[in-house]
């Protein structure tokens, strides 16, 4: 891959899980960002332990050669919380802009079951036509605001939400304007559809509108257990559904090849939430970094 086009980051969720704070409670913020740098990454997303004052956070990252590339924002347009969502978006955007990020990764969390005990496949939520329209209108609104700071909005398709499957991603992308982007997540795409082919289809179809990439691998045997026992999203994470690139079933070679051929410019972020007691975050960060160097040549 062209080193000038792509930068490599890693998410703090491998050290401390924001949805389940007990996972990795022992890992401090400073340890997390030090180990990211030591493993060879130059970027990070933002976790719950990160200071939210740029004057405090930036020097701690600068000294380690780490840059903030994105941070999760939950939106609730389908629920009708447009004004509240837009207010929170502006605050979030200003923080990310101060940290030097160019994209704002959002997830539509209306009806989401990702933080509940509901079976991630059996009890998946769906939007009505009216709710879909609210989401599309809301994201089009966000995409009008972001350029004020020279930024772009992207939606993170996610397990346990109403924008999870290939069909739902298609519907979303057909309803929003071209200045609304997609955050492509290999792990969530594979987990939802169960195949490399379906995952690649999203990348192939929407690459011109993908402005942020999450690199996440999947363990098929854990997904089979999740389906057999009707487990929740969080239980599936604890069981080890996700892992770092090169440690699961996804073949990342065609992912990197397609991104490179189409001239993707932006961040690739290793994001593999696991139980840190079972998967040492630093060890897995090093494993991911080595695999990317071997496979993508960067």
Mean pLDDT across 3-10: 96
Percentage of residues of the chain with pLDDT beyond 70: 100
Mean pLDDT across 138-143: 98
In CATH, the number for domain 6-296 is 3.20.20.150
pLDDT band at 22 (very low <50, low <70, confident <90, very high): confident
Please say if the pLDDT value at position 21 is more than 80: no
Q: Where are the domains of the chain?
A: 6-296
pLDDT for position 181: 98
pLDDT for position 249: 98
Please say if the pLDDT value at position 114 is more than 90: yes
Mean pLDDT across 33-45: 98
**Over the stretch 42-97, which tens digit does the pLDDT of each residue have?**
999 999 999 999 999 999 999 999 999 999 999 999 999 999 999 999 999 999 99
- Bridge partners (DSSP) of residue 106 are 73, 155
∠ CA 274-246-6, nearest 5°, is 95
**Over the stretch 230-281, which tens digit does the pLDDT of each residue have?**
999 999 999 999 999 999 999 999 999 999 999 999 999 999 999 999 999 9
Sort 248 into a burial class: Cβ within 10 Å, 0-12 / 13-18 / 19+.
buried
Please say if the pLDDT value at position 19 is more than 90: no
Q: Strands 242-243 and 217-218: what pairing?
A: antiparallel
Taking the CB of residue 119, how many other CB atoms lie within 10 A of it?
Answer: 19
- Bridge partners (DSSP) of residue 181 are 154
∠ CA 104-49-81, nearest 5°, is 45
Please say if the pLDDT value at position 136 is more than 90: yes
Contact, 184 vs 216, CB < 8 A? Answer: no
Please say if the pLDDT value at position 98 is more than 90: yes
67 or 22, greater pLDDT = 67
pLDDT for position 23: 84
Cα 78 versus chain centre, distance: 20
Contact, 295 vs 255, CB < 8 A? Answer: no
pLDDT for position 81: 98
d(CA 43, CA 298): 14
Task: Please give the structure tokens belonging to residue 24.
Answer: 């990795």
**Nearest C-alpha neighbor of 144 from the set 75, 83, 209, 86:** 86
Mean pLDDT across 101-124: 97
Length of the chain: 298
pLDDT for position 134: 98
Burial 132-166 (b: 16+ CB within 10 A, else e): bebbbebbebbbeebeebebbbbbbbbbbbbbbbb
Q: What's the order of all strands across the beta sheet hosting 152-156?
A: 67-70, 43-45, 6-10, 266-270, 210-215, 180-185, 152-156, 103-108, 73-75
- Bridge partners (DSSP) of residue 270 are 10, 215
**Over the stretch 149-208, which tens digit does the pLDDT of each residue have?**
999 999 999 999 999 999 999 999 999 999 999 999 999 999 999 999 999 999 999 999
Residue 287: half-sphere exposure toward Cβ, Cα within 13 Å: 17
Residue with tokens 């966000």: 142
pLDDT for position 94: 98
């Amino acid at each position: 891959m062209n080193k000038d086009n792509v930068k490599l980051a890693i998410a703090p969720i491998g050290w401390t899980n924001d949805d389940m704070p007990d996972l990795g409670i022992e890992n401090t913020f400073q340890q997390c960002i030090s180990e990211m740098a030591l493993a060879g990454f130059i970027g990070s997303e933002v976790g719950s332990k990160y200071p939210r004052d740029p004057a405090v956070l930036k020097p701690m990252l600068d000294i380690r050669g780490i840059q903030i590339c994105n941070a999760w924002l939950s939106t609730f347009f389908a629920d009708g919380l447009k004004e509240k969502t837009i207010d929170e978006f502006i605050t979030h955007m200003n923080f990310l802009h101060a940290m030097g990020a160019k994209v704002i990764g959002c997830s539509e969390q209306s009806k989401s079951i990702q933080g509940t005990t509901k079976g991630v496949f059996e009890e998946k939520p769906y939007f009505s036509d009216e709710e879909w329209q609210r989401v599309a209108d809301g994201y089009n609104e966000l995409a009008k605001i972001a350029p004020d700071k020279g930024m772009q909005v992207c939606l993170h398709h996610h397990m346990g939400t109403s924008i999870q499957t290939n069909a739902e991603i298609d519907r979303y992308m057909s309803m929003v304007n071209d200045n609304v982007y997609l955050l492509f997540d290999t792990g969530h795409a594979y987990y939802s559809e169960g195949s490399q082919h379906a995952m690649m289809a999203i990348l192939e179809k929407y690459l011109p509108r993908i402005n942020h990439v999450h690199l996440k691998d999947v363990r098929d045997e854990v997904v089979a257990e999740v389906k057999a026992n009707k487990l929740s999203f969080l239980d599936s994470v604890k069981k080890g559904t996700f892992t770092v690139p090169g440690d699961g079933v996804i073949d990342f070679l065609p992912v990197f090849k397609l991104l490179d051929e189409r001239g993707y410019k932006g961040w690739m972020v290793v994001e593999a939430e696991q139980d840190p007691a079972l998967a040492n975050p630093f060890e897995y960060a090093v494993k991911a970094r080595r695999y990317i160097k071997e496979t993508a040549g960067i």
